[in-house]
Amino acid sequence: SQELEQSPQSLIVQEGKNLTINCTSSKTLYGLYWYKQKYGEGLIFLMMLQKGGEEKSHEKITAKLDEKKQQSSLHITASQPSHAGIYLCGADIKSSGTYKYIFGTGTRLKVLA
């Protein structure tokens, strides 16, 4: 089973609508990262969250990490076609005493103009 579950798998929204993508783990997330990938291209780092309850914003994108550090959400306000792409969460978890970096399977976002 996936250690980092992302939902939804895909999302189609009308331009101007708000949307939320979730990233959940059964383990403590020591560092939580959000990336955006344009189709067939590299991943671009968006934001990093470290502390429980932390929230960061950049332009119209807000990311939060819950107090228990097991769930993060990415919220896009007033979506635009430029927001389209694949959003992936990545996280550091502890496995057998060492940090391991894992990824969610991604959320494919399409924004209709």
In whole angstroms, the minimum distance from the beta carbon of 30 to another protein comes to: 4
- CA-CA distance, 45 to 41, in Å (whole number)? 13
User: Distances in Å between the alpha carbon of 62 and those of 1, 11, 48, 76?
Assistant: 28, 17, 11, 7
Q: Does 92 bind another protein (CB under 8 A)?
A: yes
Per the listing, tokens 């209709």 go with 112
Footprint on residues 31-90 left by another protein (CB under 8 A): 31, 33, 35, 40-45, 48, 50, 88, 90
Binding site for another protein (CB under 8 A): 2, 30-31, 33, 35, 40-45, 48, 50, 88, 90, 92, 99, 101, 103-106
